[in-house]
Amino acid sequence: MAFHDQNHKNGNLSKKPKLCISPITDAEIQSEFSHHDPNIARLNNGAFGCCPSSVLAAQHELQLKFLRQPDHFYFNYLKKGILHSRTIIKELVNAQHLDEISIVDNASTATTIVLQQASWAFHEGKFNKGDAVVMLHYAYGSVKKAIEAYVTRAGGRVIEVPLAFPVNSEDDIIREFRHALEKAKSEGSNTKVRLAVIDHVTSMPSMVIPVKELVKICREEGVEQVFVDAAHAIGCTPRVDMQEIGADFYASNMHKWFFCPPSVAFIYARKSVNSVDLHHPIVSHQYRNGLAIESSWIGNRDYSSQLVVPAVMEFVNRFEGGIEGIKKRNHDCVVEMGEMLVEAWGTHLGTPHHMSASMVMVGLPPSLRIMNDCDAINLRTHLREFFGVEVPIYFRDGGEVGCVSGYARISYQVYNKVDDYYKFRDAINKLVSDGFTCALLSTSTNGSLLY
Amino acid sequence: MDNHHSQNGAVYSTEQKNHRDAKKPKLTHFISDSELRHEFSHHQTGVARINNGSFGSCPRSVLAAQNSWQLSFLQQPDDFFFNKLRNGILDSRLIIKDLINADDVEDISLVDNATTAAAIVLQQIGRNFASGEFCKNDTVIIFHCAYQAVKKSIEAYVTSVGGSVIEVQLPFPVNSNEEIITEFKKGLERGKVNGGRVRLAIIDHITSMPSVVIPVRELIRVCREEEVDQVFVDGAHAIGSLKVDVKEIGADFYVSNLYKWLFSPPSVAFMYCDKKVENVHHPVVAHEYGKGLAAESAWVGMRDYSPQLVVPTILEFVNRFEGGIDGIMKRNHEMVVKMGIMLKEAWGTNLGSPPEMCASMIMVGLPSKLRVMSDDDALRLRFYLRVYHAIEVPVYYQGLRNGERVPRDKDGFITGYVRISHQVYNTVEDYDRLKTAIIQLLEDGKVCSELPKE
């Protein structure tokens, strides 16, 4: 699949500069992430991401600039800075028009923007009551809530595409998706599928979805709008290319895998004949000037995380191959570490290599007896508090007794070391050899299905 | 800090009639002049910063606390999220609850800014119009000088679904509360024509431009008498500027930014919702949807929540001043009035409101000879003052309206005003510089339209 070297279609702003100096060294990388807690094996980059000190320093400079003379900053600097960031992103993702790129806080905000528009369409009668919105069974928890808030409440019908896990091939997903769309069309005589919400990389369990193929199916089946929730994608999956993927809306967080500070995301909205009006829910002075301009001023706040994208580009371009090189090495390493763990524990991976990007699902030994979501959360807490390992655990329902019922989602980012994964391997081995089961853990009061 | 405010060596008084916050530690001395200067030493030197009202200010000690929280997140974000964030936000909300005399911390949510709160309130109204629960004749009433972002939000969520808006003219310059109450009552009458109901009144506690303190308690009393459904007080400037007692004020919604006058970093605001309010949710839907606005606002997806976490440190900061936040407010008010009077006497002009109708900001008339004849002129003057005199102050153009008594100076009608602010870091020199710059312009015979454009 797509981890081979690809032609870099991106333009000047993200082109890797000719390196007359050698690429960033190991020691420099460790220094860039020296603020990370050294006692923790940090295997959960997928949840909260990371930000190198050089980017944090750039952000700090901007914050200070604002504090020093805020009026001057607002009038003379802010707008330019956001425009610069948007221009870089446009080239990174191969959008055609700058207007198509807006910067928002996070994928949750982007989801609200797309779904709010759908909600209006229901209210205005553009969509009929009973028209459907399709989403994947493994759509992110808060996206499901947003669909409830903005679609179900407005009279829309929600269709979930069932997905199997462990998954063996993309064909399984493609088949289920096509089947769900056909079923939707046959169920209601006049109902249409107005919107499909498709993850590029699901969160839990994590797998890379063949979005390009699914978008094609949507077009064939007459789905009106396609929104790709790509929260993890940029800096993680290959081929984040708006022309290739072909969706109407695409949103990705930049603080997960693209080294931005919390928090910043971009939302892409294709300019076409059928373009709909998107609006930021926080309405301010720039209302009706287009989503990108609206999003650039949603009241007074700290916009510094949106302004450091140039500094982030400088950082990634210190690596051999730039962001593409980083993605490839992350993938190779996470797969290697995943295989090392499954061999040590006698389990299996939840997804094939080509359906993992910088994260992979690793089966945990059945003897741990992870029986429900609560066990998964408690085990995660136990690993953090007693072993200094940070890794999210997924409970897979429906397995037989004695089978793998829990998976760890391990991430690999540039700051990770092999020792991090050995630490995890050894922690689980110890638990197993001690006869530990999740039943021994008390109910966590910090229960949350946040990944 | 001005000399006659420093009270070094005074023993801290335990009698604090208006303080409702946590008991203060016994201090042996109040913040000194040099400590205060250090706290704001990151402000651009050489600038007369008399626009605290727009972007606020944040002292070093609060910034340091914010950095600490940010570092805690960066070091181990999962641990931060699971073990620190929620309690941190709760601590901040508890302090706010005491500050504003609310009964229940569940009624207090933290959001980014007043603009966000406006979206929350107006989305709720919009849903009721869209569902048909409100009818086309129903209205929302606002002041004509309501903040532009709020007006846009009304356009997005109310007029777009068939609701109407009544704008009440704010008399300006204003002489008394009665003038405002009279206009407001007339507005309510207009709202009830055609049998419609007034579904929401949006009342500024302190208007932005022109800036005046509005008699909110009285206006809300009138609203209740006239059966207005809900009242939303946009107190963007209020907290840290004047006393905010939500029980006394009696609004359904009250929002105030903490970063303007209460020393928080950008940006955070509190939003108070009365218990009887239903059907509000944060527009950014995430995991906590349906659990109440406070819980929803505490997690709107991944972002930097550090501004919401520093309220305890802010309290420590303000308690280093004599009288705490009450003392700060009192002195800011006295100084801004004093400086306003100094300027108007030097220029031969007027104040936009009597002293009792302003808090930490006041509108001072500009000499008519400058000929501020449009918004563009006002912007040119602001730009000129920033670039050529390193003075930061917003300028307001008040168009002439037929039938109103417009104040005059010796040369003509006064149509331009500056909005001066006073915060703890200001000095008399800041205002002297403004006085001189304007006088210089007059002596040079310049008018606004001749000034360079940005």
How does pLDDT run across A261-296, given as a tens digit for each residue? Answer: 998 999 999 998 778 889 999 999 999 999 999 999
Find, in chain B, the residue whose alpha carbon is nearest to that of A143: B286
User: Can you read off the two tokens belonging to residue A242?
Assistant: 């708006």
Give the CA distances from residue B21 to residues A88, B24, B268, B271, B274, in Å, rounded to whole numbers and listed in that order: 48, 8, 19, 18, 20
Q: Name the band, by pLDDT with cuts 50, 70 and 90, for residue B2.
A: very low
- Establish if A432 touches chain B: CB-CB under 8 angstroms: no
Cα–Cα dist A292/A281, whole Å: 13
The amino acid at B258: L
Determine whether the interchain pair B113/A299 forms a contact, defined as Cβ–Cβ distance below 8 Å: yes
CA–CA distance, A198 with A140 (Å, rounded to integer): 10
**CB spacing of B115 vs A42 below 8 angstroms:** no
> CB-CB: which of A148, A279, A381 is closest to B156?
A279
Say yes or no: B413 contacts chain A, CB-CB below 8 A.
no
Average pLDDT over residues A160-188: 91
Model confidence at A17, pLDDT cuts 50, 70, 90, reads: low
Burial (CB count within 10 angstroms: exposed 0-12, middle 13-18, buried 19+), residue B117 = buried
Task: Check residue B84 and report its DSSP letter.
Answer: I
| A448 → closest Cβ in B82, B152, B386 | B82
- Taking only the tens place, the pLDDT of each residue in B192-227 is 887 889 999 999 999 999 999 999 999 999 999 999
pTM: 0.91
Q: Mark yes or no for CB contact A299/B267 under 8 Å.
A: yes
- B67, containing H or E segment: helix B60-75
CB < 8 Å to A282, chain B: 112, 115-116, 119, 283
If DSSP codes are grouped into helix, strand and coil, which group holds residue B295?
A: helix
Top residue of B51, B67, B82 to mutate, by most chain A CBs within 10 Å, is B82
Rounded distance between C-alpha atoms, residue B407 and residue B405, angstroms = 6
Sheet holding B230-234, edge to edge: B108-111, B269-273, B253-257, B230-234, B198-204, B139-143, B164-168
Asked if A187 and A180 touch (Cβ cutoff 8 Å), the reply is no
CA atoms within 13 A on the CB side of A105: 23
pLDDT at position A15 is 53
- Please identify among residues 182-221 of chain A the ones whose CB lies closer than 8 Å to any CB of chain B: none
Q: Looking at chain B, which residue has its C-alpha nearest residue A444? A: B82
In this structure, the strands spanning A193-199 and A132-136 are parallel
What value does the mean pLDDT take over residues A82-103? 97
Partner residue facing B42 (CB), from A36, A68, A111: A68
As a whole number, the mean pLDDT across chain B is 92
Contact A283 B130 (CB under 8 A): no
Spatial CB neighbours of A357, under 8 Å, sequence gap ≥ 6? A201, A208, A232, A236, A237, A238, A327, A330, A331
**In this structure, what token pair is assigned to residue A165?**
């896990």
Record: contact B284-A108, CB cut-off 8 A: yes
pLDDT digits (tens, 9 = 90+) for B361-400: 999 999 999 999 999 999 999 999 999 999 999 999 998 7
Could you give the domains of chain B?
98-314 (3.40.640.10), 324-450 (3.90.1150.10)
Residues in B touching A109 (Cβ below 8 Å): 284, 300-301
Q: pLDDT tens, A401-445?
A: 679 999 999 999 999 999 999 999 999 999 999 999 999 987 654
- A67/B285 touch (CB, cutoff 8 Å), yes or no: no
Contact B302 A48 (CB under 8 A): yes
- What is d(CA B256, CA B110) in angstroms, rounded to the nearest whole number? 10
- Give the CA dihedral A137, A143, A144, A147, nearest 10 degrees: -120
Longest dimension (CA), chain B: 67
Q: Could you give the CA distance from residue B452 to residue B385 in angstroms, rounded to a whole number?
A: 11
pLDDT value at residue A187: 78
pLDDT of residue B147: 93
Q: pLDDT tier at B405 (50, 70, 90 boundaries)?
A: confident
Q: Pick from A35, A299, A305: which is nearest to B304 by CB?
A: A305
Cβ atoms of A261 and A95 closer than 8 Å: no
Å between B123 CA and nearest CA of chain A: 9
Q: Could you report the predicted ipTM of this complex, rounded to two decimals?
A: 0.90
Antiparallel, parallel or unpaired: β B164-168 and B139-143: parallel
Report yes or no: A36 at the B interface, CB cutoff 8 Å.
yes
Q: What is the pLDDT of residue B11?
A: 33
CB B340 within 8 A of CB A147: no
* Pairs of CB atoms within 8 A across A/B: 183
Residue A158 confidence class, pLDDT cut points 50, 70, 90 = very high
Q: Which of residues 349-388 of B touch A (CB under 8 A)?
A: 386
What pLDDT shows up at residue B10?
Answer: 35
CA B420 to chain A, closest CA, distance in angstroms equals: 14
pLDDT digits (tens, 9 = 90+) for B50-62: 999 999 999 999 9
Is it the case that residue B22 has pLDDT exceeding 60? no
Q: Which of B63-67, B231-235, B370-374, B402-406 has the lowest mean pLDDT?
A: B402-406
pLDDT(A190) > 90: no
Q: How far is CA A451 from CA A164, A205, A393, B332, in A?
A: 20, 10, 9, 47
* Positive/negative CA dihedral, A118, A122, A123, A126: positive
CB A69 within 8 Å of CB B56: no
pLDDT digits (tens, 9 = 90+) for B276-309: 998 899 999 899 999 999 999 999 988 999 999 9
- Which residues, 6+ apart, have CB-to-CB distance to A29 below 8 Å? A414, A415
Using the beta-carbon criterion (under 8 Å), do A66 and B266 form an inter-chain contact? yes
Token reading at B439: 């006088």
Contact yes or no for A407/A205 (Cβ under 8 A) = yes
Q: Does B390 contact A at CB distance below 8 Å?
A: no
Check whether the bond before B394 is cis (ω within 30° of 0): no
How far apart CA A181 and CA B388 sit, in angstroms, is: 65
Output the six-digit token pair for B5. Answer: 């405010």
Residue A145 with chain B: CB contacts under 8 Å: 285-287, 289-290
B328: left (phi over 0), alpha (psi -120 to 50) or beta: alpha
Distance from CA of B309 to the nearest CA of A (A): 15
Residue A372 contacts B, CB cutoff 8 Å = no
Give the C-alpha distances (Å, rounded to integers) separating A101 from A255, A269, A278: 17, 7, 12
Chain center to CA of A156: 26
What was the pLDDT predicted at A8? 42
Mutating which of A69, A300, A304 best tests the B interface, going by the most B Cβ atoms within 10 A? A300
Q: Which residues of B touch A152 (CB under 8 A)?
A: none
Mean per-residue pLDDT, B409-436:
97
Indicate the residue of B148, B301, B302 with minimum beta-carbon distance to A285: B148
- Give dist(CA B267, CA A357) in Å, integer: 35
Statement: residue A19 has pLDDT above 90: no
Render pLDDT for A217-273 as a digit per residue (tens, 0 to 9). Answer: 999 999 999 999 999 999 999 889 999 999 999 999 999 999 999 989 999 999 987
- Percent above pLDDT 90 for chain B: 85
Q: Residue B183, exposed/middle/buried by CB under 10 A (0-12, 13-18, 19+)? A: middle
